[in-house]
């Protein structure tokens, strides 16, 4: 069921993460019927499900080869299962991230049966820790040389103080010298344009010498749920050929939406994608919408309040942006929040300091009239 997201969290995991662009929605609807999923329209022969999208994605990302799977967790499972055998993948304890709903990167990396060789301590990992694991030394390695290095971007938390992490470029050098692949789980995959420049992009990771970058389609890319495996052709090919990849492949509608999303990214300037548009909204425009709503509802002007919105989705920790919203007049915030959720067009707000707040940054301006209707029917407002 569709809902209006007035939480101010743009990539709200519980509300379906990235809202898709109209282009992606149309592409999904088209693909939902018969489509040219596995047929070449020029020769009428059977083709690969991904043949038409692969070169395009490679060109936009700047990668030698790309494989798409169901989500980033699937990308992690596949890459580590294929490249981590027989000796296991090395992962610093400082990067053993829990991504939400108690899913942990180290557990998913090893779910296919490969060993995950933990090295370093929570706050400090040195190059020699990686070297030892590749030599089969250290308590977790147990005499078996590791087969791959895994890097995980600390996408949803930050470490401060007495900390040390080996840089990606240095790790890439070690991987090359030892002829083992370096896999980097970026998580919130971004292509760069239209977002605050504090998150690394897929291409930046590749430029630093990562063999396989893993990224999510529905985080900073603003597309459908998908996992992207981008990088060196020989490693991507091994992932593609591995039987497990059939069990992890995306459906035709996700591929269609991913194509439309990449097409938006390929155009000049900030991508015409709701995520990027919501990030770019200015406060003056948001305030004008809030004032119009308050006026139409007959509320006091003091009900227009400054708020802080966030990108969310386990990306960009601590990175909030000024926003504007409504402070709903009501006696019992939780009861009114429930009434709004149960309306014919559910509205999801947030409660802070006993105030029911609706952030307009995450509300499509075209839904302002629906929001007004929902608020007008609140009995205790
Ligand atoms: C979000 C995230 C994942 C999982 O991605 P999904 O697409 O939700 O499966 C894996 N690793 C990192 C670092 C993440 O941030």
The alpha carbon of 316 is separated from its chain's Cα centroid by a whole number of angstroms, namely: 10
From atom 5 of ligand 1, which residue's Cα is the shortest distance away?
Answer: 72
> pLDDT tens, 216-235?
999 999 999 999 999 999 99
Write the CATH number of the domain with boundaries 4-11+274-380.
3.90.1150.180
pLDDT of residue 350: 97
pLDDT of residue 126: 98
What percentage of the chain exceeds 90 in pLDDT? 83
Cis status, amide bond into 86, omega within 30 of 0: yes
What is each CA distance from 3 to 254, 278, 368, in whole angstroms? Answer: 21, 17, 13
114: pLDDT strictly greater than 70: yes
Q: What tokens does 148 get?
A: 């791959």
Question: How crowded is residue 170: how many other Cβ atoms within 10 Å of its Cβ?
Answer: 14
Confidence of residue 380 (pLDDT cuts 50, 70, 90): low
Judge if the beta carbon of residue 155 lies within 6 A of ligand 1. yes
Closest CA to 373 of 343, 342, 352: 343
Cα distance between residue 313 and residue 328, in whole Å: 26
Which atom of ligand 1 is the closest one to the Cα of 156?
15
pLDDT of residue 206: 97
Give CATH 3.40.640.10 domain extents, the chain. 20-266
Tell me what the pLDDT averaged over the chain comes to: 94
Give CATH 3.90.1150.180 domain extents, the chain. 4-11+274-380
Q: 259 CA to middle of ligand 1, Å?
A: 20
Q: What tokens does 142 get?
A: 């147990």
Looking at the domain 20-266, which fold is it?
3.40.640
Cα distance between residue 150 and residue 110, in whole Å: 11
What percentage of the chain exceeds 70 in pLDDT? 97
pLDDT of residue 334: 96
The alpha carbon of 147 is separated from its chain's Cα centroid by a whole number of angstroms, namely: 27
Confidence of residue 89 (pLDDT cuts 50, 70, 90): very high
User: Which of 72, 75, 313 has most ligand 1 atoms within 8 Å of CB, for mutation?
Assistant: 72
Q: 216 CA to middle of ligand 1, Å?
A: 6
Judge if the beta carbon of residue 190 lies within 6 A of ligand 1. no
Judge if the beta carbon of residue 314 lies within 6 A of ligand 1. yes
379: pLDDT strictly greater than 80: no
Cα distance between residue 232 and residue 341, in whole Å: 47
Judge if the beta carbon of residue 91 lies within 6 A of ligand 1. no
Cα distance between residue 40 and residue 50, in whole Å: 11
Q: What tokens does 184 get?
A: 């980097």
Map residue 62 onto helix, strand or coil.
coil
Q: 146 CA to middle of ligand 1, Å?
A: 24
pLDDT of residue 37: 87
pTM higher than 0.85 for the full model?
Answer: yes
Confidence of residue 381 (pLDDT cuts 50, 70, 90): low
Own/partner pairs, 21-26, CB within 8 angstroms, 24+ separation: 21/222, 21/260, 21/261, 21/264, 21/272, 21/273, 21/274, 23/260, 23/263, 23/264, 23/272, 24/223, 24/224, 24/256, 24/257, 24/258, 24/260, 24/261, 24/264, 25/257, 26/260
From atom 10 of ligand 1, which residue's Cα is the shortest distance away?
Answer: 187
Please state the φ and ψ torsions of residue 304, each to the nearest 5 degrees. -85, 120
88, 115 in Cβ contact below 8 A? yes
Judge if the beta carbon of residue 68 lies within 6 A of ligand 1. no
User: Which of 71, 73, 212 has most ligand 1 atoms within 8 Å of CB, for mutation?
Assistant: 73
The alpha carbon of 54 is separated from its chain's Cα centroid by a whole number of angstroms, namely: 20
The alpha carbon of 324 is separated from its chain's Cα centroid by a whole number of angstroms, namely: 25
- Kind of pairing, strands 103-104 and 347-348? unpaired
Across the range 346-367, mean pLDDT stands at 97
> pLDDT tens, 293-349?
999 999 999 999 999 999 987 666 667 899 999 999 999 999 999 999 999 999 999
User: Which of 92, 155, 168, 214 has most ligand 1 atoms within 8 Å of CB, for mutation?
Assistant: 155
Rg (CA), the chain: 23
Locate tokens 């090893």: which residue?
Answer: 110
> pLDDT tens, 267-293?
988 889 999 999 999 999 999 999 999
pLDDT of residue 135: 97
> pLDDT tens, 74-85?
999 999 999 999
pLDDT of residue 196: 74
Judge if the beta carbon of residue 216 lies within 6 A of ligand 1. yes
Judge if the beta carbon of residue 4 lies within 6 A of ligand 1. no
Q: 316 CA to middle of ligand 1, Å?
A: 13
- DSSP code per residue over 101-120: TTEEHHHHHHTTS--EEEES
pLDDT of residue 252: 96
Cα distance between residue 324 and residue 252, in whole Å: 38
Beta-strand runs (E) in 52-194: 65-69, 89-92, 98-100, 103-104, 116-119, 148-152, 182-187
Confidence of residue 54 (pLDDT cuts 50, 70, 90): very high
48: pLDDT strictly greater than 90: no
Judge if the beta carbon of residue 105 lies within 6 A of ligand 1. yes
């Amino acid at each position: 069921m569709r809902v209006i997201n007035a939480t101010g969290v743009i990539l709200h995991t519980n509300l379906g993460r990235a809202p898709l662009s109209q282009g992606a929605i149309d592409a999904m609807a088209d693909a939902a019927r018969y489509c040219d999923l596995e047929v070449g329209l020029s020769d009428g022969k059977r083709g690969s499900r991904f043949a038409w999208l692969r070169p395009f994605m490679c060109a936009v990302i700047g990668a030698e080869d790309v494989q798409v799977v169901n989500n980033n967790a699937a990308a992690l499972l596949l890459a580590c299962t294929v490249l981590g055998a027989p000796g296991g993948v090395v992962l610093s304890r400082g990067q053993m991230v829990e991504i939400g709903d108690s899913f942990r990167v180290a557990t998913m990396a090893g779910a296919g049966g490969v060993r995950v060789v933990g090295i370093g301590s929570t706050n400090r990992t040195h190059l020699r820790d990686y070297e030892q694991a590749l030599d089969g030394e250290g308590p977790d390695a147990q005499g078996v040389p590791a087969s791959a290095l895994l890097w995980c971007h600390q996408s949803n938390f930050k470490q401060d103080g007495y900390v040390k992490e080996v840089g990606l470029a240095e790790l890439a050098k070690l991987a090359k010298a030892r002829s083992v692949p370096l896999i980097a789980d970026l998580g919130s995959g971004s292509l760069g344009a239209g977002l605050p420049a504090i998150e690394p992009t897929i291409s930046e990771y590749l430029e630093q010498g990562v063999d396989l970058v893993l990224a999510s389609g529905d985080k900073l890319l603003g597309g459908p749920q998908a996992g992207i495996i981008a990088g060196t052709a020989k490693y991507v090919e091994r992932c593609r050929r591995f039987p497990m990849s059939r069990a992890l492949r995306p459906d035709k509608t996700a591929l269609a939406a991913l194509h439309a999303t990449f097409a938006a990214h390929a155009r000049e300037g900030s991508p015409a994608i709701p995520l990027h548009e919501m990030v770019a909204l200015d406060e003056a425009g948001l305030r004008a919408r809030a004032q119009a709503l308050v006026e139409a509802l007959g509320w006091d002007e003091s009900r227009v309040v400054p708020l802080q919105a966030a990108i969310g989705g386990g990306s960009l920790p601590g990175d909030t942006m000024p926003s504007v919203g409504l402070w709903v007049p009501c006696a019992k915030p939780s009861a009114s929040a429930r009434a709004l959720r149960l309306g014919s067009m559910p509205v999801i707000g947030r409660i802070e300091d006993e105030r029911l707040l609706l952030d307009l940054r995450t509300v499509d301006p075209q839904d302002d009239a629906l929001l007004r209707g929902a608020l007008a029917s609140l009995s205790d407002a």
